[in-house]
Structure 1
Amino acid sequence: MNATVLAARLLTERPRPRGIAGWRHAHWLAVGTVCLGAFLGQLDASVIALVFPALGRHFGAGFAAVEWVALAYLLVLVALLAPIGWLSDLVGRKTMYIGGFAVFGLSSLCAGFAGGLWILVGCRAVQAVGAAMMQANSVALVARGVPEHAMRRALGIQAAAQGLGLAFGPTLGGLLVEHASWQWVFWVNVPIGVLGIVAGWYLLPRTRAERAAVVPGPRLPLGKAHRFDFPGMLLITGATTALLLALSTASGLPLPGWLVAVLLVASAVQTLALVRQEQRAARPILAPGLVNTPGVRSGLVVALIGYLLLFCPLVLGPVLLTGAGVSTAGAGLVITLLPAAFAVAATVGGGLLPRGWSDVTRCRSGAVMAGAGLLLFALLPVSAGVSAVPLLVAGYGLGLLLPANNALVMRAIPAACSAVGGGMVNMARSLGTALGMALSVLGVHLAGAASGGRTVLLVLAGVAAAAVLLTRPGRPARPARPAGPAGPAGPARS
């Protein structure tokens, strides 16, 4: 078998078994498979916060260096979400999604055997490649495979799966660190990855017809209209990396102090260059035409803010609680309440609200609740019992905010652009997560664990108020999907 034939077989998406494809509720099986990837990605994201101290002790490194185990992952994720979304249009979202489970599981296995901190950082970067292959396609798989009337519910279930992953992460991380070793924080991903490969193969509908499978060769559409915006990708990666390095250097990373100013200037210059690049690119990575659609730009900012509000407490909470005398496992259990409330609100929380509430009202109400919870967390005494209440309030508010905001953004984006739109939502989420971690470490470094943590939480309460003001109703954009390799409009049936 030559390489071309092998590539054709690997890149040809197989249809689901007839019994599954013909079932009228089959789209929920596809949503469940997407939720498995969402669960795995967020489990891995939240478990890291509990393993930072153990990694610091094991490798003899400071907090500012250890945080790059998380930041390297997030930077690669931000860089690759858009190009992988573009590549998925050529190869097929199902193929790319299943491949993501394989890369993620294998790199997780290697991460547990890392012999040095920067080797571990490298393994985490490869992990992010697998995560990008899943995340760049998750929202698009839901949007294309679920009927219009069920989209908000499906996106809510996906957000709930993310919340469950976040919820299990702190508890699992605390227990594994105390009773096993930090290596098991990564090895636990392997069996979930294997399950994801099997589920994706049988339960996801194909997104490209067999005859349209893409194989390497001169027929690959690489005309001007199909070229990916690699300069834009490099500028986004460079601007984000420079900003996070500046924050890490200010947080104690052993680099010269003058480098902070240089990195901030470099980030600003690359951001300005990115704006110009996107205005003249044939196929811009940020798609100004989509970003400028009413409701999309503000929705992406709100998505960034939402994950900033979610991840700052996940990093700060263990620091504040262990500083108050709570054990690592106990701190993990308390912090679990934040994402657990997020998951409950994203799944069934909307049922407790008045039926006539729009997604805009849900977003604003959720932002108000999240801000109130973070404000209480900053002002009340820190203990396992007292801190539980504000974490529950903040998590429930974010569980109302983020699914409704995602629905607003995806509803405002034409269906034919769902993969690009989903990639931009995931990019905003990753940037919010990275900034949340970096700002938390910076606050602790500058003002100490207790004072710095409370200051950051007070700032976050103000950021939540900004999310209330930024939430805008979008203009629905649902033109008929063009017939082509992905098939006609409506949920996939194969």
Structure 2
Amino acid sequence: MVGITCLGAFVGQVDASIVQLGLPALEQAFDASLDQVSWVAVGYSLAFAAVLPAYARLAEIAGRKLLYLLGFALFGLFSALCGLAPSLPWLIAFRVLQGMSGALLGANSIVILVAVTDQTQRGRAMGLFASAQALGVIAGPALGGLLLNDLSWHWIFWVTVPVTALGAALGWVLVPVSTPLGRDATFDWRGALLLIPALCGLMMTLTELNAWGPLSPSVLACAIVAAALLAGFVWWDGRAPAPLIDLGLFRSRAFTGGTVAALLSYAMLYGMFFAMSFALVRGYRDAPVSAGLRLAIIPVALGLVAPFSGRLSERWPRLATRGGTGLCAAAALGLSQTLTGGLGGEPAMTLLLAAYGVGLGLFIAPNNGATLAAAPAEHAGQAGGLLNLMRAFGTATGVAAASALLAWRVEQATGLHGRTVGVSERALLGAASDVMILLATLALATALAASFEDRRRTPPRRA
């Protein structure tokens, strides 16, 4: 049983990270602009985050086994269709559906894991689950480089199909049937209809900021509609008998700061993946396999440090928050000066990528633990779901922000609107250096958000 949930965690992280390296190839294959091709990554993460709270509640009402197996089956189906997509709009549509399918796995995996393990085994099981996620992030860039080098972009989607088929088959046999809630359990449809388009509007505003212009009617309309829907969701959440998300958790400064820090830390990770994919493939003219192995340095360093970061944070709590984020900021600023295209800077670039991964490894696990600890025990499920939502939304935010800034800086330097194909190495690397400065700023903001954990007062009241 633990192995099945780990399989789902692994395949989800592989898919999220493998696509980053394929974006330059997709830009060229479909002759698309940077903001358009970024939706291949953003659409998946945004769809995952937007429907995750709804799926979590539906699973409580209808039972988890059916939805979990359905997640494996649909994830494999839409992965296969992504590889068969005849055009970029079709690919983005299939990626959105794939993200929604992945949310079925994400909404149920940890709950199933907890249900099938007793208290003495739960810590080890959670460690295996986290290791499977880390292995997925590590395998994604390296595996993507190999597939792009020897085959084509289609295979970065097809590679997960056999794994999902295996997961569905094993889950059918091994996953126990959960007890659904009673017939009087209700689903917050109004909350879902407000939250999902609100998140989509926010992400549309950020992703298309450069393509449409910051003061264009389309961007302003998306921003206003998103803000209105979010305000409506907050208003309704306080009155709903069974709200989709328990916003009462955010009365805790520690929990609020921790969830914001989780969002920003994943934005840092995937913003780096996005920017360095283009820097290596377009700026340094690396072969895909070489670029993939270099990108894998970040999650490898993160995975090596993460198992020890919890113990370090217990002895030196500020080392995880300020030391980890400070190291990320220093590494990003160092990369902004190192990305010149010269061969002499490549060893320094490798070390700085490793330092960036170490910084994230020091920070992410202790922050997640402190954030969950700030929530009352009876709200642990809701807190974990919110943390997953913020991580997924942070992934989309990082890609969208890096894409918008990279496209804008390339256009400023070359006059080419939203494209990196044919751009000079110097202009591309200069734009990527500016993204590094943005990531350093995000690291400082992450440290500020996490510092609220040091000033805990009263636990959040029940909403």
Which residue in the other structure is 2:326 paired with?
Answer: 368
Alignment counterpart, residue 340 of structure 1, candidates 293, 300, 311: 300
1:55 and 2:26 aligned: yes
Residue type matched to 1:312 in 2? G
SS in structure 2 of the partner of residue 228 of structure 1: coil
Instruction: Tell me, in whole angstroms, the C-alpha distance in 1 between the residues paired with 2:308 and 2:158.
Output: 32
Which string of whole-angstrom CA distances, capped at 9 and with x for unpartnered residues, describes residues 284-342 of structure 1?
22212223245322221111011011100000001122313323321111111111112
Which residue in the other structure is 1:326 paired with?
Answer: 286
TM-score when scaled to structure 1? 0.80
CA contact (8 A) 2:65 2:177 kept: yes
Which residue in the other structure is 2:436 paired with?
Answer: 457
Instruction: Tell me, in whole angstroms, the C-alpha distance in 2 between the residues paired with 1:362 and 1:149.
Output: 27
Q: Residues 143 and 403 (structure 1 numbering): CA distance in 2 closer, same or farther, change over 3 Å?
A: farther
1:200 and 2:171 aligned: yes
1:102 and 2:73 aligned: yes
Alignment counterpart, residue 228 of structure 2, candidates 269, 278, 286: 269
Following superposition, the deviation at residue 76 of structure 1 comes to: 1.7
Alignment counterpart, residue 379 of structure 1, candidates 337, 340, 344: 337
CA RMSD of aligned residues (A): 2.9
Q: Residues 148 and 454 (structure 1 numbering): CA distance in 2 closer, same or farther, change over 3 Å?
A: farther
Q: Residues 293 and 88 (structure 1 numbering): CA distance in 2 closer, same or farther, change over 3 Å?
A: farther
SS in structure 2 of the partner of residue 295 of structure 1: helix
TM-score when scaled to structure 2? 0.85
Alignment counterpart, residue 388 of structure 1, candidates 336, 341, 350: 350
SS in structure 2 of the partner of residue 385 of structure 1: helix
1:71 and 2:42 aligned: yes
Following superposition, the deviation at residue 268 of structure 1 comes to: 2.3
1:301 and 2:263 aligned: no
Following superposition, the deviation at residue 119 of structure 1 comes to: 1.6
Following superposition, the deviation at residue 135 of structure 1 comes to: 0.8
Q: Residues 350 and 290 (structure 1 numbering): CA distance in 2 closer, same or farther, change over 3 Å?
A: closer
Which residue in the other structure is 1:112 paired with?
Answer: 83
Instruction: Tell me, in whole angstroms, the C-alpha distance in 1 between the residues paired with 2:458 and 2:66.
Output: 30
Following superposition, the deviation at residue 141 of structure 1 comes to: 3.5
Structure 2 residue runs of 5 or longer lacking an equivalent are: 411-427
SS in structure 2 of the partner of residue 285 of structure 1: coil
The share of aligned pairs that are identical, in percent, is 32
Residue type matched to 1:288 in 2? L
Following superposition, the deviation at residue 153 of structure 1 comes to: 5.8
Instruction: Tell me, in whole angstroms, the C-alpha distance in 2 between the residues paired with 1:192 and 1:118.
Output: 26
Of 189-198 and 241-250, the range deviating more from structure 2? 241-250
Following superposition, the deviation at residue 125 of structure 1 comes to: 1.9
Q: Residues 309 and 153 (structure 1 numbering): CA distance in 2 closer, same or farther, change over 3 Å?
A: farther
Alignment counterpart, residue 400 of structure 1, candidates 352, 362, 366: 362
1:37 and 2:8 aligned: yes
Instruction: Tell me, in whole angstroms, the C-alpha distance in 1 between the residues paired with 2:363 and 2:34.
Output: 31
Which residue in the other structure is 1:430 paired with?
Answer: 392
1:104-143 equivalence runs, <5 A: 104-143=75-114
Structure 1 residue runs of 5 or longer lacking an equivalent are: 1-28, 215-219, 478-494
CA contact (8 A) 1:33 1:200 kept: yes
CA contact (8 A) 2:208 2:404 kept: no
Instruction: Tell me, in whole angstroms, the C-alpha distance in 1 between the residues paired with 2:130 and 2:225.
Output: 35
Residue type matched to 1:140 in 2? V
CA contact (8 A) 1:136 1:419 kept: no
SS in structure 2 of the partner of residue 252 of structure 1: helix
Higher helix share: 2
CA contact (8 A) 2:310 2:365 kept: no
Which string of whole-angstrom CA distances, capped at 9 and with x for unpartnered residues, describes residues 90-141 of structure 1?
2333443232111111211122112222222221122112210111123334
Following superposition, the deviation at residue 357 of structure 1 comes to: 4.2
SS in structure 2 of the partner of residue 386 of structure 1: helix
Q: Residues 97 and 411 (structure 1 numbering): CA distance in 2 closer, same or farther, change over 3 Å?
A: farther
Alignment counterpart, residue 271 of structure 2, candidates 312, 318, 321: 312
Alignment counterpart, residue 211 of structure 2, candidates 219, 242, 252: 252
SS in structure 1 of the partner of residue 242 of structure 2: coil
Instruction: Tell me, in whole angstroms, the C-alpha distance in 2 between the residues paired with 1:85 and 1:179.
Output: 39
Instruction: Tell me, in whole angstroms, the C-alpha distance in 1 between the residues paired with 2:438 and 2:214.
Output: 27
Which residue in the other structure is 2:446 paired with?
Answer: 467
Instruction: Tell me, in whole angstroms, the C-alpha distance in 2 between the residues paired with 1:150 and 1:374.
Output: 39
Q: Residues 178 and 256 (structure 1 numbering): CA distance in 2 closer, same or farther, change over 3 Å?
A: farther
Which residue in the other structure is 1:481 paired with?
Answer: none
SS in structure 1 of the partner of residue 204 of structure 2: helix
Which residue in the other structure is 2:419 paired with?
Answer: none
CA contact (8 A) 1:159 1:403 kept: no
CA contact (8 A) 1:80 1:132 kept: yes
SS in structure 2 of the partner of residue 387 of structure 1: helix
Instruction: Tell me, in whole angstroms, the C-alpha distance in 1 between the residues paired with 2:330 and 2:119.
Output: 33
Following superposition, the deviation at residue 427 of structure 1 comes to: 0.8
CA contact (8 A) 2:272 2:439 kept: no
1:187 and 2:187 aligned: no
Following superposition, the deviation at residue 438 of structure 1 comes to: 0.6
Following superposition, the deviation at residue 58 of structure 1 comes to: 2.5
Of 50-59 and 295-304, the range deviating more from structure 2? 50-59
CA contact (8 A) 1:368 1:464 kept: yes
Q: Residues 98 and 384 (structure 1 numbering): CA distance in 2 closer, same or farther, change over 3 Å?
A: farther
Instruction: Tell me, in whole angstroms, the C-alpha distance in 2 between the residues paired with 1:342 and 1:201.
Output: 34
SS in structure 1 of the partner of residue 347 of structure 2: coil
Which residue in the other structure is 1:286 paired with?
Answer: 245
Alignment counterpart, residue 242 of structure 1, candidates 201, 206, 212: 201
CA contact (8 A) 2:46 2:203 kept: no
> Across the two proteins, how many residue pairs are aligned to each other?
435
1:175 and 2:146 aligned: yes
Which string of whole-angstrom CA distances, capped at 9 and with x for unpartnered residues, describes residues 420-452 of structure 1?
222211110111011101111111111123233
Following superposition, the deviation at residue 415 of structure 1 comes to: 4.5
Which residue in the other structure is 2:415 paired with?
Answer: none
Instruction: Tell me, in whole angstroms, the C-alpha distance in 2 between the residues paired with 1:304 and 1:227.
Output: 29
Residue type matched to 1:332 in 2? G
SS in structure 2 of the partner of residue 280 of structure 1: coil
Of 250-259 and 72-81, the range deviating more from structure 2? 250-259
Q: Residues 391 and 241 (structure 1 numbering): CA distance in 2 closer, same or farther, change over 3 Å?
A: same
SS in structure 2 of the partner of residue 61 of structure 1: coil
